[in-house]
Amino acid sequence: MSEFTQQSQTQPIGVFDSGVGGLTVLKHLIHSMPGEEFVYLGDTARVPYGNKSPETIRHYTRQCVNFLLSFDVKAIVIACNTASALALDLARDISPVPVIGMIHPAAVSAVEQSITKKIGIIGTRATIGSHAYEHEIGNVAESKGLNIEVYAKACPLFVPLAEEDFGQHPSAAMIAHEYLHEFLALGIDILVLGCTHYPLLKDLIGKTLPDISLLDCGETAAKELCNILQIEEQKQAGELPIVRLFTTDSVHAFSSIAERCIGFPLPDPIRISPETLEEQGLSGI
């Protein structure tokens, strides 16, 4: 990727999501690249993105990308399927550094792993409505001469369940059954968790669909970025990641879920108001 030629290994990697979901991606990024510095933005004041219009999602994405660019990052990870589905093109247009989305790496991995050639996708309304996964899986399958059936379903209540840490509650099992039971009869062997909040509900989803492999798009995206950085000799060696967290709403709620998700103590998140993001989005970088 020629965008890297002016970059330096020591620059941070920018990561954003509408809320805490992207922390499931950050966990895999840290695991694959433990020597890096990460700047994470969770736009918790405006979550969920998944029920909003494409115009609003693109508007917010522009602001988040510009915010991360102000840290002189060497790459940006859109740790949000909704923003990846609706605004990856925009993010790549405005960013002078490489931008990794969630959908392509997950689509490649799903096609490679599926034996039945029937793949399920769950995501937000906006992601499923965009048909981005069907397009991407269709392209990957065509390039390999395969015929793949894709079954997609929006599960909008999963994001608030994850944000509220409600995965163990009996009501969550009822909601999961309501959304997912139809996948049991379809012959799928892979279910793509096409929303970065959903790995926070992995136990719940796994219990509802016991014989289906769950694909975590954060894991596949982290592998893709790690490969790119290695090829471009931009990967920072070391074992001590630096993580800086920013959130557009309450730092307290964000902090406890962040530590649980990442698995080690993190510095306190810093609050940045949506109005500040708005100003940056308008002025650009």
159 binds ligand DGL (CB under 6 A): yes
Strands 213-216, 99-100: pairing kind: unpaired
Stretch that binds ligand DGL, among 109-117, 129-137, 174-182, 189-197 (CB under 6 A): 189-197
Q: Are 123 and 152 in contact (CB under 8 A)?
A: yes
Which residue among 109, 124, 208, 280 contacts ligand DGL (CB under 6 A)?
Answer: 124
Residues in contact with 57: Cβ distance below 8 Å, sequence separation at least 6, in sequence order: 49, 82, 83, 86, 87, 126
Nearest to 16 by CA among 126, 123, 100: 100
Q: Are 264 and 241 in contact (CB under 8 A)?
A: no
Binding positions for ligand DGL, 194-213, rule CB under 6 A: 195-197
> Which residue, 98 or 199, is less far from ligand DGL as judged by CB?
199
269 binds ligand DGL (CB under 6 A): no
Smallest separation (angstroms) from ligand DGL to the CB of 194: 7
Distance CA(86)–CA(136), nearest Å, equals 13
> Which residue, 35 or 129, is less far from ligand DGL as judged by CB?
129
3-state secondary structure of 17: strand
Query: Which residues participate in catalysis according to the annotation?
Result: 80, 195
The residues with which 38 forms a beta bridge, in sequence order, are 13, 243
Provide the mask over 81-120, with x wherever binding to ligand DGL is found by CB under 6 A and - wherever it is not: xx--------------------------------------
> Which residue, 217 or 234, is less far from ligand DGL as judged by CB?
217
> Which residue, 43 or 232, is less far from ligand DGL as judged by CB?
43
Which residue among 80, 86, 106, 204 contacts ligand DGL (CB under 6 A)?
Answer: 80
Smallest separation (angstroms) from ligand DGL to the CB of 217: 8
Smallest separation (angstroms) from ligand DGL to the CB of 80: 4
Smallest separation (angstroms) from ligand DGL to the CB of 162: 8
18 binds ligand DGL (CB under 6 A): yes
Distance CA(31)–CA(222), nearest Å, equals 9
Which residue among 17, 37, 216, 219 contacts ligand DGL (CB under 6 A)?
Answer: 17
44 binds ligand DGL (CB under 6 A): no
Residue 259 amino acid letter: E
218 binds ligand DGL (CB under 6 A): no
Strands (E) in the chain, as ranges, are 13-17, 37-42, 75-78, 99-100, 118-123, 149-154, 190-193, 213-216, 242-247, 270-271
Nearest to 4 by CA among 158, 233, 165, 195: 233
- The token duo for 86 is 């609706």
- The token duo for 98 is 């490489």
> Which residue, 41 or 232, is less far from ligand DGL as judged by CB?
41
Stretch that binds ligand DGL, among 136-144, 191-199, 244-252, 262-270 (CB under 6 A): 191-199
Cis peptide before 199 (omega within 30 of 0): no
Give me the residues that bind ligand DGL (CB under 6 A), please.
17-19, 21, 47-50, 80-82, 124, 127, 159, 195-197
